[in-house]
Amino acid sequence: MKPFKQATIVGAGAMGRGIAQVLAEAGVNVMLYDTHESALTSAIKQLEAVYSRLVDKGRRSRLSCDEALARITTIVNFKDAEGSDLVIEAIIESLDAKRSVFQMVDDVVSEDCVLATNTSSLSVAAISAGVNNPGRMVGLHFFNPAALMPLVEIVPSLATDPDVLARCQSAVKAWGKSGVVAADSPGFIVNRVARPFYAEAMHMLEEGLADVPTIDWAMREIGGFKMGPFQLMDLIGHDVNYVVTETVWTQFYFDPRFRPNLTQKRLLDAGWLGRKSGKGFYDYADGASNPSATEDRVLGQVIVDRITALLFNEAADALYRNICSASDLETAMLRGVNYPKGLLQWANETGLDTIVDRLNALRDRTGDTRYRPCPLLVDRASNNQPFEC
């Protein structure tokens, strides 16, 4: 496939500059565009600081860092990007804002330039509305920080040309990333399948089953996750995590499986966004004292079993709805959110009939249809047919 040689990244925030770094290090000439010159100046300074740290730690040579930086040019006039063969938009998660960007881009670049959105949860088809040739539009969802996270979700819309998809798959591999193909469905793979990791933790908190540090302790120490759900939500920021949840829920026509939690909404209302604001589920102020976990392994196993049952169910539903292949699902959850095991493999090890029993018991006790087992999970459990992964 013809490689991309000249790319323009729209948006000089953390994600935009991270994508610029990835492409520049892979030998692509990059123009970083933003309407605010101060944002571009800040982005270059931060990239210089990143490379200085890498050199100081002996992870990169000064020459390779200087060469990568030399491939990144900042522009404030988008007409300077007319020679691009790839444009990647990396701005706020607003459908109107993204549509506006691509209508501007469409008027400048050539007809064979590939247009990509870094959206994490919005419809690629909807974003491409108004583009003269939606066949050249695709989703390229990098994960933050883009330079470190190995996964890219490649999301074709109904209109995406198969050659554009194939070219992007080849490019993502050349950039040193693991690419997975996801249907243009709310949340794609990772942000759809991972919703219960956060939501079920908050449901248990609201029910009084366990407190924040205990749930986090259980998921780390017993579940094997790198971070507990409340730690991770605080790290992501509730302004980001809650909005993604609400977006997925709304786009799924208010399916109870994706229903947001009032607990998180109240944090957002109060401006307690997590680490970035100094307070969220935990207090990050200097000298702050946070409660300790109750290290009860019996309770901890209940917590892990409940959250993982919902994760397994959502993974099964992604397959049932043809969102992705089984292998891409495993890759996405291992490399996109660093889960301890692929969810399908883990479900097989747990026992599909056991998972169905846990879900049915939760639905019977609560009456909440968010616990309904996926038909594919039920069928495979009934036929003693594990997932092929």
Tell me the residue length of the chain.
389
Q: At what angle do helices 229-236 and 195-207 cross, to 10 degrees?
A: 120
Please give, one letter per residue, the 3-state secondary structure of 88-145.
EECCCCCHHHHHHHHHHHHCCCCCCCEEEECCCCCCHHHHCCCCCCHHHEEEEEECCC
pLDDT digits (tens, 9 = 90+) for 130-159: 899 999 999 999 999 999 999 999 999 999
The secondary structure element, H or E, covering residue 8 is: strand 6-10
Whole-number Å distance between alpha carbons of 171 and 149:
16
pLDDT per residue as tens digits for the range 221-273? 999 999 999 999 999 999 999 999 999 999 999 999 999 999 999 999 999 99
pLDDT of residue 106: 94
The domain spans of the chain are 6-181, 192-382
Q: Please report the pLDDT score of residue 389 as a whole number.
A: 85
Q: What is the pLDDT of residue 89?
A: 98
Give tens-digit pLDDT for 27-81.
999 999 999 999 999 999 999 999 999 999 999 999 999 999 999 999 999 999 9
3-state secondary structure of 172: helix
Q: Determine the 3-state secondary structure of 78 from DSSP.
A: helix
If you search the block for the tokens 């102020």, which residue do you land on?
A: 285
Q: What is the pLDDT of residues 66-78, one digit of tens each?
A: 999 999 999 999 9
Average pLDDT over the chain reads 97
What are the residues facing 7 on neighbouring strands?
A: 30, 86
Q: What CATH number has the domain spanning 6-181? A: 3.40.50.720
* Helical spans, DSSP H, in the chain: 14-25, 37-56, 62-70, 95-106, 124-127, 162-174, 190-193, 195-207, 212-217, 229-236, 238-251, 262-270, 297-320, 326-336, 343-350, 352-366, 375-382
Closest of 199, 200, 180 to residue 188, by C-alpha: 180
Active site members: 120, 141, 153, 191
DSSP 273: -
Distance from C-alpha of 4 to C-alpha of 113, rounded to nearest angstrom: 9
Which band of pLDDT confidence, cut at 50, 70 and 90, is reported for residue 1?
confident
Query: Could you read off the pLDDT of 88-147 as tens digits, one per residue?
Result: 999 999 999 999 999 999 999 999 999 999 999 899 999 999 899 999 999 999 999 999
Give the separation between CA 157 and CA 136, rounded to whole angstroms: 10
Return the pLDDT at 121: 86
Tell me the average pLDDT across 305-321: 98
- Cis peptide leading into 213, omega within 30 of 0? no
Query: For 192-382, CATH number?
Result: 1.10.1040.50
* Nearest residue to 374 via CA among 318, 325, 296: 318
Burial class (CB in 10 A: 0-12, 13-18, 19+), 17: buried
Asked whether 20 and 9 are in contact (CB, 8 A), the reply is yes
**Cα distance between the two ends of the chain:** 28
